Structure 1
Amino acid sequence: MKHRTTAGLAAVALASIALTGCASSDDGGSAAASGGNVCEVTPAAEPSPAPSPSEEDVKAVDAIKVSGPVGKEPKVEFEAPLEVSAPTFRVVDEGTGEELTDGAQVTINYLVIAGKDGSTSGSTWKTKKPETFKLGAPEYDLLNDRLIGQKVGMRLLMASTAMDQTIQVTMVEVTKVEAAPDVPTRAEGTAVTPEGGLPTVELADDGQPTVTIPKDYKAPTDLVVQPLIEGDGAEVTKDQTVTVQYAGCLLDGTSFDSSWSRGAPTSFPLSGVIPGWTNGIAGQKVGSQVLLVVPADQAYGEQEQGGIPANSTLVFVVDILDAKAA
């Protein structure tokens, strides 16, 4: 079983997002009217509890040597290959600064090391790009309980299974805590009438979308950017980090990704996503909802990506909740 950690650790330690099934429908509501493929987002589920580490897991993590002062990239040494059967943690240093409370915004530095050979997979000390997130957010379920109640300066060691099923060791240091900004949970603004023939979007009371792809819809060769709600915030630029709610579908109605299913918005730099997102979200206003139809050459191209087949056209509904300097 894999579990989530942090947004920035996604490439090396995040769990995969559960795929949600959708089906073509010819009866009931707007789906019958369109005769198209209906993509429904599965509501957020209660997270499954993480399995408990074994005695062997605890001994393996206790044997890891960490050296170097707080505030600097540490040296982490262990006998490779390192194996654990469940996420296993060790507090290396207690913090002495401000207390970390549920809902606060914390900033961390982290170092990620491959358990198989001890090689470094990533380091925010080297990139000088620490990560900031809200304590209690569902996508940080591995870190929340270990950080809440601790103090700034705390260093936490973790060994867990990554997306590629390899074991990775992560050293986290909390460098800052502050009140989290007040960010809405859905787009709010003026409704925009979309062009005819595009996938249609229906919203639940909480803003969660259901997407219907017309039966005769042909995959476009160019990126389609259709505002559905126009917000009144500042225009987003390509060099910013955005906070969004979003759902992603294939043209056959398969839902492959959704922040609504995870129960919380997510944040990431626009410079680090597929070109269709970078080009489609930049220039839109904060508070807006946008429909994106992304051709394969602005998505993953000939590369299969998780539950997304090669050469797939992707359909997204994106609520742009916030944007700030990366």
Structure 2
Amino acid sequence: MRTRPIIALSVAAVVAALSLAGCSAQSEPDASGSPTSTTSPDLCTAQVASGKASAAVKVSGKVGDEAKVSFDKPLDVTALQSTVVTKGDGDKIKSGDFIQFALTEYNAETGEKNGAIGQSEGSLLPQQVSASSTLGQVLGCATVGSRVVATMPGDEDYPSTVDVLDVLKVVPQAAWGTEQTPKAGFPTVKLATDGTPSVTLPSGDMPTAFEKETLKKGDGTKVAKGDAVLVQYYGVSWNTKKTFDKSWGGTPFTVQQVGTGVVDGFSKAIEGETVGSQVVAVLPPSSAYGKGEINDSDLTGQTLVFVIDIIGVKKAS
């Protein structure tokens, strides 16, 4: 099934967040290296023009709440158009930023509301803006607090839509919580100016059981089993003392569902933590890639240390 280029919303009020153009899902962290960023720096000039269709939409309601619209039906939508109806007083968004936004979508032919998403915390993961994505082409370098109307042409699968997007905030790509004091004898984490961690392992015997410590305590939504979570991670092997994988230098990683799709210890590390937090977790082989003869290619038999920054969460429905 083809997907809408921004967010697909079902008429039956079951709201489903789908992938944005230019911002694809990533696979489980492993030893294969980090994904690379494909964002373009020219976000302001990427915004599509306002037009007759988008300018004809009248919008009411508070930015951040579900938007109410009025327009003559059916609205003739022949091209992607974007009109700023409220200019926020926050900073301009930049290419590569992860933003929290709210979306209300209407059927351009009937005027019926398809659905809404992002108005409550934990209902939508932060999304990355780039000049190559439809989201970036609609918002451009809009300021935080802005409300934008987009008209989306239809096709054989989806009717044309009117989409109202509210830019709520730019989400940091590193944990921002209050620093905590870890217990003695745990791996020591040092942060670069951009938040990239490095790990110093303590002397002594290698741990044989799963352990974790919260290094920063965030003020956001608590992560639960089944949630989707956006994270930054840095992985070090206790056996080899080498970094085997990281998201830093690329793009944050999406755990599609806590409890599945990643090793057990990675899920245990983030479950129960809050958005904005940073944790360091020690995963013995039983919580990582399994026991057996130590193997660098698939990390079998190795005890791993992960530093994980929790950037955003979408609660399980």
Residue 48 of structure 1 deviates from its aligned partner by 12
Pairing of 1:89-238 with structure 2 (within 5 A): 96-97=79-80, 133-136=127-130, 145=132, 147=134, 149=137, 152=152, 178=165, 182=169, 183-218=171-206, 220-238=207-225
Which of 33, 38, 47 aligns to 1:18? It is 33
| Change beyond 3 A, Cα 1:179–1:200 | same
Please name the residue that 1:309 is paired with. 299
Cα deviations by residue, 1:277-314 (Å, 9 ceiling, x for unpaired): 22221111221110011121222215999844212211
Identity over aligned pairs, percent: 31
Please name the residue that 2:310 is paired with. 320
* Aligned Cα root-mean-square deviation (Å): 4.4
What is the CA–CA distance in structure 1 between the aligned matches of 2:78 and 2:220, rounded to whole Å? 38
Whichever residue aligns with residue 325 of structure 1, its letter is K
What is the CA–CA distance in structure 2 between the aligned matches of 1:199 and 1:179, rounded to whole Å? 41
What is the CA–CA distance in structure 2 between the aligned matches of 1:233 and 1:274, rounded to whole Å? 24
Cα deviations by residue, 1:34-69 (Å, 9 ceiling, x for unpaired): xxxxxxxxxx988699xxxxxxxxxxxxxxxxxxxx
Contact kept in structure 1, 2:79 and 2:153, CA below 8 Å: yes
What is the CA–CA distance in structure 2 between the aligned matches of 1:306 and 1:47, rounded to whole Å? 29
| Change beyond 3 A, Cα 1:226–1:270 | same
| Change beyond 3 A, Cα 1:7–1:48 | closer
Pairing of 1:256-275 with structure 2 (within 5 A): 256-262=244-250, 264-268=251-255, 269-271=257-259, 272-275=261-264
What is the CA–CA distance in structure 2 between the aligned matches of 1:205 and 1:296, rounded to whole Å? 32
Number of aligned residue pairs? 204
Q: Does 1:248 align with 2:235?
A: yes
What is the CA–CA distance in structure 1 between the aligned matches of 2:211 and 2:38, rounded to whole Å? 35
What is the CA–CA distance in structure 2 between the aligned matches of 1:313 and 1:132, rounded to whole Å? 31
**TM-score for both structures, normalised by structure 1:** 0.50
| Change beyond 3 A, Cα 1:215–1:48 | farther
Please name the residue that 2:271 is paired with. 282
Which stretches in structure 2 are left out of the alignment for 5+ residues? 1-21, 41-76, 84-92, 104-124, 139-150
Residue 7 of structure 1 deviates from its aligned partner by 4.3
Moved more, 305-314 or 290-299: 305-314
Residue 217 of structure 1 deviates from its aligned partner by 4.2
Residue 180 of structure 1 deviates from its aligned partner by 5.9
Whichever residue aligns with residue 242 of structure 1, its letter is V
Whichever structure has more helix as a proportion of its residues is 1
Residue 258 of structure 1 deviates from its aligned partner by 1.4
Whichever residue aligns with residue 128 of structure 2, its letter is K
Q: Specify the SS of the correspondent of 1:297.
A: helix
Residue 152 of structure 1 deviates from its aligned partner by 4.4
Residue 191 of structure 1 deviates from its aligned partner by 1.8
Q: Specify the SS of the correspondent of 2:301.
A: coil
Contact kept in structure 1, 2:265 and 2:288, CA below 8 Å: yes
Please name the residue that 2:60 is paired with. none
| Change beyond 3 A, Cα 1:97–1:132 | farther
Whichever residue aligns with residue 210 of structure 1, its letter is S
**TM-score for both structures, normalised by structure 2:** 0.51
What is the CA–CA distance in structure 2 between the aligned matches of 1:132 and 1:288, rounded to whole Å? 15
Which stretches in structure 1 are left out of the alignment for 5+ residues? 20-43, 50-93, 108-130, 137-143, 156-173
What is the CA–CA distance in structure 2 between the aligned matches of 1:322 and 1:132, rounded to whole Å? 6
| Change beyond 3 A, Cα 1:276–1:16 | closer
Whichever residue aligns with residue 18 of structure 1, its letter is G
| Change beyond 3 A, Cα 1:10–1:236 | closer
Whichever residue aligns with residue 235 of structure 2, its letter is G
Q: Specify the SS of the correspondent of 2:220.
A: coil
Please name the residue that 1:8 is paired with. 25
